[in-house]
Amino acid sequence: MALAAFGLLSLSYFLWKAPASSPSWIEIEWPFPRDAWPNGRAFRCVSGPCGRGAELYVRPKLGFCNNCEIGVADDEEVDRVTDVVFIGENFVAMAPGRSVSAAGMVGRLRHYGVVLRGDRTRAVTALALARNCDIVVALILVPASQTAEQEQAAVAWLSSPKVTAWLQSALAKS
Protein backbone atom coordinates (compact mmCIF):
# COMPACT_ATOMS: atom_id res chain seq x y z
CA MET A 1 0.00 0.00 0.00
CA ALA A 2 2.80 2.43 0.90
CA LEU A 3 4.60 1.52 -2.32
CA ALA A 4 1.47 2.27 -4.37
CA ALA A 5 1.03 5.62 -2.62
CA PHE A 6 4.68 6.49 -3.30
CA GLY A 7 4.21 5.53 -6.96
CA LEU A 8 1.13 7.76 -7.29
CA LEU A 9 2.93 10.62 -5.59
CA SER A 10 5.90 10.25 -7.95
CA LEU A 11 3.62 10.08 -11.00
CA SER A 12 1.65 13.16 -9.96
CA TYR A 13 4.91 15.10 -9.41
CA PHE A 14 6.12 14.07 -12.88
CA LEU A 15 2.83 15.03 -14.54
CA TRP A 16 2.79 18.36 -12.74
CA LYS A 17 6.42 19.11 -13.59
CA ALA A 18 6.58 17.81 -17.20
CA PRO A 19 4.36 20.31 -19.04
CA ALA A 20 6.40 23.28 -17.85
CA SER A 21 9.58 21.92 -19.39
CA SER A 22 8.45 20.66 -22.80
CA PRO A 23 5.91 21.53 -25.48
CA SER A 24 3.01 19.21 -25.97
CA TRP A 25 1.53 18.69 -29.42
CA ILE A 26 -1.52 16.60 -30.29
CA GLU A 27 -2.48 15.53 -33.78
CA ILE A 28 -5.64 17.07 -35.21
CA GLU A 29 -7.52 16.56 -38.46
CA TRP A 30 -6.02 18.07 -41.63
CA PRO A 31 -8.29 21.12 -42.15
CA PHE A 32 -7.53 22.08 -45.74
CA PRO A 33 -9.29 21.08 -48.98
CA ARG A 34 -7.80 18.45 -51.24
CA ASP A 35 -5.51 19.73 -54.00
CA ALA A 36 -2.84 18.24 -56.26
CA TRP A 37 -0.78 17.09 -53.25
CA PRO A 38 -1.66 14.50 -50.60
CA ASN A 39 -2.96 15.75 -47.28
CA GLY A 40 -0.37 16.24 -44.59
CA ARG A 41 -0.53 16.10 -40.82
CA ALA A 42 -1.76 18.80 -38.47
CA PHE A 43 -0.82 19.37 -34.83
CA ARG A 44 -2.10 21.67 -32.06
CA CYS A 45 -0.09 22.81 -29.06
CA VAL A 46 -1.87 22.10 -25.78
CA SER A 47 0.80 23.42 -23.40
CA GLY A 48 4.38 24.59 -23.12
CA PRO A 49 6.51 27.08 -25.03
CA CYS A 50 4.76 26.34 -28.34
CA GLY A 51 1.84 28.41 -27.08
CA ARG A 52 -1.53 26.88 -26.25
CA GLY A 53 -3.65 26.83 -29.41
CA ALA A 54 -0.77 27.19 -31.87
CA GLU A 55 -1.16 24.93 -34.90
CA LEU A 56 1.39 23.36 -37.21
CA TYR A 57 0.51 21.95 -40.64
CA VAL A 58 3.09 19.80 -42.44
CA ARG A 59 3.14 17.89 -45.71
CA PRO A 60 5.60 16.56 -48.24
CA LYS A 61 5.40 17.50 -51.90
CA LEU A 62 7.30 14.82 -53.78
CA GLY A 63 9.19 15.94 -56.87
CA PHE A 64 8.26 19.60 -56.40
CA CYS A 65 11.65 21.18 -55.79
CA ASN A 66 12.64 23.70 -58.45
CA ASN A 67 16.38 22.99 -58.18
CA CYS A 68 17.20 19.49 -56.94
CA GLU A 69 20.85 20.24 -56.26
CA ILE A 70 20.42 23.50 -54.35
CA GLY A 71 17.05 22.90 -52.67
CA VAL A 72 15.06 25.87 -51.37
CA ALA A 73 17.53 28.67 -52.02
CA ASP A 74 15.50 31.86 -52.01
CA ASP A 75 12.35 33.55 -50.75
CA GLU A 76 10.65 33.39 -54.13
CA GLU A 77 10.65 29.61 -53.92
CA VAL A 78 9.21 29.73 -50.38
CA ASP A 79 6.45 31.98 -51.73
CA ARG A 80 5.79 29.55 -54.57
CA VAL A 81 5.80 26.18 -52.79
CA THR A 82 4.30 26.78 -49.34
CA ASP A 83 0.61 26.51 -48.51
CA VAL A 84 0.03 30.06 -47.23
CA VAL A 85 -2.80 30.40 -49.74
CA PHE A 86 -4.80 27.91 -47.61
CA ILE A 87 -4.97 30.54 -44.86
CA GLY A 88 -5.91 33.32 -47.26
CA GLU A 89 -5.27 34.23 -50.88
CA ASN A 90 -4.24 37.81 -50.07
CA PHE A 91 -0.87 37.56 -48.32
CA VAL A 92 2.34 39.54 -48.21
CA ALA A 93 5.81 38.66 -46.94
CA MET A 94 6.62 40.69 -43.83
CA ALA A 95 10.41 40.51 -44.23
CA PRO A 96 13.09 38.54 -46.03
CA GLY A 97 13.23 34.89 -45.00
CA ARG A 98 16.08 33.06 -43.34
CA SER A 99 17.76 29.68 -43.55
CA VAL A 100 16.39 26.97 -41.31
CA SER A 101 16.98 23.28 -40.70
CA ALA A 102 14.55 20.72 -39.34
CA ALA A 103 14.02 16.96 -39.58
CA GLY A 104 17.45 16.52 -41.16
CA MET A 105 16.65 18.90 -44.03
CA VAL A 106 17.53 22.49 -44.83
CA GLY A 107 15.48 25.23 -46.38
CA ARG A 108 13.98 28.61 -45.62
CA LEU A 109 11.50 30.11 -43.19
CA ARG A 110 9.48 33.27 -43.94
CA HIS A 111 6.86 35.34 -42.10
CA TYR A 112 3.69 36.50 -43.82
CA GLY A 113 0.71 38.68 -43.08
CA VAL A 114 -2.50 37.19 -44.43
CA VAL A 115 -5.53 39.43 -44.89
CA LEU A 116 -8.72 37.68 -43.80
CA ARG A 117 -12.36 38.72 -44.11
CA GLY A 118 -13.12 42.03 -42.48
CA ASP A 119 -9.58 43.27 -43.17
CA ARG A 120 -8.20 41.35 -40.19
CA THR A 121 -4.60 40.24 -40.58
CA ARG A 122 -3.19 36.93 -39.41
CA ALA A 123 0.50 36.23 -38.92
CA VAL A 124 1.68 33.00 -40.55
CA THR A 125 5.15 31.48 -40.64
CA ALA A 126 5.93 29.21 -43.58
CA LEU A 127 8.81 26.77 -43.97
CA ALA A 128 10.02 25.01 -47.08
CA LEU A 129 12.59 22.26 -46.55
CA ALA A 130 14.23 20.20 -49.29
CA ARG A 131 15.68 16.75 -49.69
CA ASN A 132 16.84 15.84 -53.19
CA CYS A 133 13.93 16.81 -55.47
CA ASP A 134 11.31 16.70 -52.72
CA ILE A 135 9.93 19.52 -50.59
CA VAL A 136 8.39 19.51 -47.13
CA VAL A 137 6.21 22.53 -46.41
CA ALA A 138 4.95 23.64 -43.03
CA LEU A 139 2.79 26.45 -41.69
CA ILE A 140 2.87 27.74 -38.12
CA LEU A 141 -0.20 29.62 -36.88
CA VAL A 142 -0.66 31.02 -33.40
CA PRO A 143 -3.81 32.55 -31.87
CA ALA A 144 -2.11 35.90 -31.08
CA SER A 145 1.17 37.47 -32.16
CA GLN A 146 3.85 34.84 -32.59
CA THR A 147 6.93 34.82 -30.42
CA ALA A 148 10.38 33.50 -31.28
CA GLU A 149 9.93 30.86 -28.57
CA GLN A 150 6.77 29.53 -30.24
CA GLU A 151 8.50 29.42 -33.61
CA GLN A 152 11.47 27.54 -32.12
CA ALA A 153 9.12 25.06 -30.41
CA ALA A 154 7.31 24.35 -33.71
CA VAL A 155 10.59 23.86 -35.60
CA ALA A 156 11.79 21.58 -32.78
CA TRP A 157 8.57 19.53 -33.10
CA LEU A 158 9.28 19.15 -36.83
CA SER A 159 12.63 17.66 -35.80
CA SER A 160 11.12 15.36 -33.19
CA PRO A 161 11.57 11.61 -33.72
CA LYS A 162 7.82 11.14 -34.38
CA VAL A 163 7.54 13.76 -37.12
CA THR A 164 10.99 13.07 -38.61
CA ALA A 165 10.19 9.34 -38.92
CA TRP A 166 6.91 10.10 -40.68
CA LEU A 167 8.57 12.58 -43.05
CA GLN A 168 11.44 10.22 -43.88
CA SER A 169 8.94 7.46 -44.62
CA ALA A 170 6.82 9.75 -46.82
CA LEU A 171 9.90 11.04 -48.68
CA ALA A 172 11.18 7.49 -49.25
CA LYS A 173 8.21 6.92 -51.55
CA SER A 174 9.62 9.25 -54.19
Could you read off the pLDDT of 101-123 as tens digits, one per residue? 999 999 999 999 888 877 788 88
Report how far residue 84's alpha carbon sits from residue 11's, in angstroms, rounded to the nearest whole number. 42
pLDDT band at 139 (very low <50, low <70, confident <90, very high): very high
Task: Tell which CATH classification among 3.40.1000, 1.10.3470, 3.40.50, 3.40.1350 matches the domain 26-171.
Answer: 3.40.1000
**pLDDT greater than 50 at residue 22:** no
For the chain, which residues make up each domain, given as ranges?
Answer: 26-171
23 vs 70, higher pLDDT: 70
Q: What is the DSSP string of 41-84?
A: EEEEEEESTT-TT-EEEEEEETT--S-TTT-S-SHHHHHHHS-G
Kindly report, residue by residue over 40-49, the tens digit of the pLDDT. 999 999 988 8
